[in-house]
Amino acid sequence: MKGMVAPMSVMKRVSLIFRAKANKTLDRMEDPRETLDYSYTRQLEMLTQVRRGVADVATSRKRVELQMNSLRQQQTKLEGQAKQALGAGREDLAREALGRKAALQGQLEDLTTQYSSLQADEEKLTMASQRLQQKVEAFRTQKETIKATYTAAEAQSRIGEAVSGISEEMGDVGMAVQRAQDKTAQMQARAGAIDELMASGALEDVTGPPRDDIQAELDRMRTGPDVDLELERLKNEIGGGPAKQIEGGANSGAAGAAGQGSAAEQPQAGEGS
């Protein structure tokens, strides 16, 4: 690698490389008019490409935003569970919930960094797109002028300069789009990994309704006393007096007589009484 780097200014060499690219465009066509039209077509393509690039980065940013929201929701839920657990005197459970909340914080910070980076890329690309747009507009105007005065000796050098200038801008924008796409692809991969993690339940486990062990424990604690109360009430009812006993008996008898409706009615009667 060292051998390839001649002792010459970095900034000069980069500009020479850009110039060489522009010259390739200039040498491509025999008729300078064709060069102008060819370059203009390439400019429009590049504009489309950079706009697509901006849209891709925006999509990626929105995806990260959704993931951040979802992680924040889970954190809020865990904190609620911790409070609930503390209220019920279960410090161990509260500690567990807060521990899981803290674990999500790392993910959230990582996503926040990604988000800012994507936001910055989006802004940069948007500005690059605007710069190119203005230059393409200027090129179009100049192209028509040059074409009208094509036979003049001056036209040749003007074409050279306009094409070099715009091709440099396209090279710059093209690199920016490329870099943004590479970065976006990396972030998409990481975002996909988090999505997978959520889908697998590794994160959802903590708070998701079916597998949420903290919630299950809290639910057990809550339903515990309720069940006891209900049992107590039922016991009282049963021991309360013959009138109620008859009423209950009549109800179940009616339900039995109703036949088809009995399955639906009986649990309701049990809950209500």
Radius of gyration of the chain (CA): 36
User: Is residue 135 near another protein by the rule CB under 8 A?
Assistant: yes
Q: Is 182 exposed, middle or buried, given 0-12, 13-18 or 19+ CB atoms closer than 10 A?
A: exposed
Residue 11 lies near another protein (rule: CB under 8 A): yes
Where are any strands of DSSP class E within the chain? none
Element (H, E) at 255: helix 242-258
Q: Single out the segment in contact with another protein by CB under 8 A; choices: 61-69, 80-88, 101-109, 176-184.
A: 176-184
The nearer residue to another protein, 57 or 170, going by C-beta atoms, is 170
The reply to whether 171 sits near another protein by the rule CB under 8 A is yes
Residues 6+ apart with CB under 8 A from 121: 57, 180, 183, 184
What residues numbered 197-236 form the site for another protein, per CB under 8 A?
none
Piece of the chain touching another protein by CB under 8 A; list 73-81, 129-137, 185-193, 218-226: 129-137
User: Strand, helix or coil at 210?
Assistant: coil
Beta carbon of residue 188, minimum distance to another protein (angstroms, whole number): 20
For position 26 contacting another protein by CB under 8 A, the verdict is no
Residue linked to tokens 């006393």: 225
| Of 67, 75, 129, 167, the one binding another protein by CB under 8 A | 167
Using the rule CB under 8 A, give the single segment among 81-89, 135-143, 230-238, 252-260 that binds another protein. Answer: 135-143
Judged by phi (left if over 0) then psi (alpha if -120 to 50, else beta), residue 243 lies in: alpha
Contact 111, 70 (CB under 8 A): no
Q: Site for another protein (CB under 8 A): which residue of 57, 166, 194, 206?
A: 166
Distance CA(180)–CA(171), nearest Å, equals: 14
**Which of 33, 37, 38, 42 forms a contact with another protein (CB under 8 A)?**
42
Residue that is written with structure tokens 């500009």 in the block: 15
Asked if 138 touches another protein (CB under 8 A), the answer is yes
Binding residues for another protein, per CB under 8 A?
A: 1-2, 4-5, 7-15, 17-22, 25, 42, 124, 128, 131, 134-135, 137-139, 142, 161-162, 164-168, 170-172, 174-176, 178-179
